[in-house]
Amino acid sequence: MSMKYILLPIFLLLFSTYTLATDKRGELSPLFYNEGESRYLNELSRSDLDYFNKTEKNLDQLDLLVTQNKKNFCAYQIINSAKNLLNDHNNVDIFLLYLREKKLVDDVSLQILTKAKSNTLINLKIPPDESLTEENISDAFLRLTEVQSKRVQNLECQEDLYRDLYFSLRQKAPILTRQLKNVLKLALKKHVIDQETYNVLDRMRKNRVQEWPMTLSEYARKISYIKKNLSDDENEKNNFFVTEGPNKQISYRQYLYSQYSESQILLMGQLTLNLKKRLSAESISINIHYSDREDEVILLSPMEQFRIILKILRKEMSDLGQSDLMGGKKVSYLDIITASYELGHISGEEIKSLVALEEIWNPKRTKKEKAMFWIKTFGSFSAVLLPPPYGFLSVLAIMIIDQQLSDPKRTEDPDFNII
């Protein structure tokens, strides 16, 4: 494994923190970051928001639910507190849109808060042939005692406590999670946990909080680290990653944060930094070393440089897919581009220019037509000599077209050839 993949996690561990940092792009709410438009705001919600702003008496106090420190990372606490403050506790949906309109939360935070708002009750059927052993029950009770202690001391969010409990029990014995309803009832009956702890955990169980991609506090930690590692101070926003996505239910930005950790996002962004450095190199050469005479240096032509840079990028994508640090996740080129934009390695203007290449995104174009566009637009000698950022944009376009044509999300071959 490459030395950079070994050293980077150590670097991340040393600098990782749960404390939110000041945003280099300006002072923002800790739950709002780097988004312009919203997938959730539209003309239909306009009149409801206007009425909410005019009639709601506790707007200032409602704002504090997501701007004050510590507890603004607990989704269930925000929702419960809002219900107590709202004139009509049924206005939670409008309250969340209000927070988004004021840029106190972004779409990723809003999506998590919406999950916490849900009161869907799911009755899980307990397999009749499974039974809990005394050893399993003892493990579960010990863990529940720790959870209650943390809850009483208010050390963690309700959803984080439950997820920690669930995954801990699943590791001990899967039957504990399959029969969690019975485990919680037994713990309450034997006074291992009190009624309030039972109510909290059973609500989380019914709402299947363990299936959330992440909690609000986990997202806050991720963006805190991302803010610390921005490569520039620009304050520009681009709506592409917020309004577009791998499907209609989720944006590229929501997908990025739900699928990858902060360290994985940093790893993906590093590929773009490497790419930009190579594209700005004065020359690229092949050195041949002889034992009996002077070394031979072969300078590559601009087109050859361009092609080898692309091949190196593909190899790095392959290496990334093989790395244990990615946990076996299949990384796409659009994941790389989204991560790079989040880190400031790609500017909003560059994304705007990339999105303007309509031929890339047009679903009506066949793969053959997109390949011809690739050849005509970026396959010529003149395209290589274009001044920045156009050379970089051409590589990004090729990455996307390349993926559409062959879908190289992950290469299993460890001996990926550059030449």
- Fill in the DSSP letter of residue 291: S
> Which uninterrupted H or E stretch holds 34?
none
pLDDT category of residue 406 using cuts at 50, 70 and 90 = low
Name the residue ranges covered by the structural domains of the chain: 24-120, 134-206, 260-283+297-406
On whether the CB atoms of residues 253 and 338 are closer than 8 A, the answer is yes
- How many helical (H) and strand (E) elements, i.e. helices and strands, does the chain have? 22, 2
* Residue percentage of the chain with pLDDT more than 70: 76
Residue 169 CA to residue 47 CA, distance in Å, equals 47
CA-to-CA dists, residue 283 to 83, 95, 270, 297, 377, angstroms: 63, 56, 21, 12, 23
Q: Please state the pTM of the whole predicted model.
A: 0.78
Q: What's the mean pLDDT when you consider all of the chain? A: 79
* CB neighbour list of residue 348: distance below 8 Å, 6 or more residues apart: 234, 236, 237, 238, 341
CA-to-CA dists, residue 58 to 18, 51, 53, 54, 168, angstroms: 30, 14, 10, 11, 40
- Tens of pLDDT, residues 327-363: 888 888 889 999 999 998 888 888 887 777 766 776 6
pLDDT of residue 27: 42
Cis peptide before 389 (omega within 30 of 0): yes
Residue spans of beta strands (DSSP E) within 188-345: 285-288, 296-299
pLDDT of residue 253: 92
- Tens of pLDDT, residues 282-328: 888 999 999 888 989 999 887 788 788 888 888 888 888 888 888 88
On whether the CB atoms of residues 271 and 313 are closer than 8 A, the answer is yes
DSSP 3-state assignment of 288? strand
For residue 165 the two structure tokens come to 């409990």
On whether the CB atoms of residues 341 and 230 are closer than 8 A, the answer is no
Work out the angle at residue 89's Cα, subtended by the Cα atoms of residues 84 and 93, and round it to the nearest 5 degrees.
120
What's the whole-number mean pLDDT along residues 2-7? 44
Count how many Cα atoms sit within 13 Å of the Cα of residue 410 in the half-sphere of its side chain: 11
pLDDT category of residue 202 using cuts at 50, 70 and 90 = very high
pLDDT of residue 11: 36
On whether the CB atoms of residues 249 and 362 are closer than 8 A, the answer is no
Least confident of 265-279, 373-387, 405-419: 405-419
How many of the other CB atoms lie within 10 Å of CB of 13? 9
Of 275, 279, 384, nearest to 337 by C-alpha is: 275
On whether the CB atoms of residues 177 and 75 are closer than 8 A, the answer is no
Residue spans of beta strands (DSSP E) within 218-356: 285-288, 296-299
pLDDT higher than 70, residue 14: no
What's the whole-number mean pLDDT along residues 241-257? 88
Give the position of tokens 């998590």. 112
Residue 127 CA to residue 169 CA, distance in Å, equals 17
What's the whole-number mean pLDDT along residues 238-267? 89
On whether the CB atoms of residues 347 and 234 are closer than 8 A, the answer is yes
pLDDT of residue 156: 86
pLDDT higher than 60, residue 94: yes
pLDDT higher than 60, residue 71: no
pLDDT category of residue 212 using cuts at 50, 70 and 90 = very high
pLDDT of residue 410: 45
Least confident of 88-92, 126-130, 301-305, 306-310: 126-130
pLDDT of residue 414: 46
CA quadruple 26, 30, 35, 36: dihedral, nearest 10: -70
pLDDT higher than 70, residue 281: yes
What's the whole-number mean pLDDT along residues 273-277? 88
pLDDT of residue 353: 78
- Which of residues 197 and 397 earns the better pLDDT score? 197
Count how many Cα atoms sit within 13 Å of the Cα of residue 291 in the half-sphere of its side chain: 0
Residue 4 CA to residue 2 CA, distance in Å, equals 5
Residue 328 CA to residue 259 CA, distance in Å, equals 12
Of 320, 336, 317, nearest to 328 by C-alpha is: 320
Residue 2 CA to residue 377 CA, distance in Å, equals 35
pLDDT higher than 60, residue 108: yes
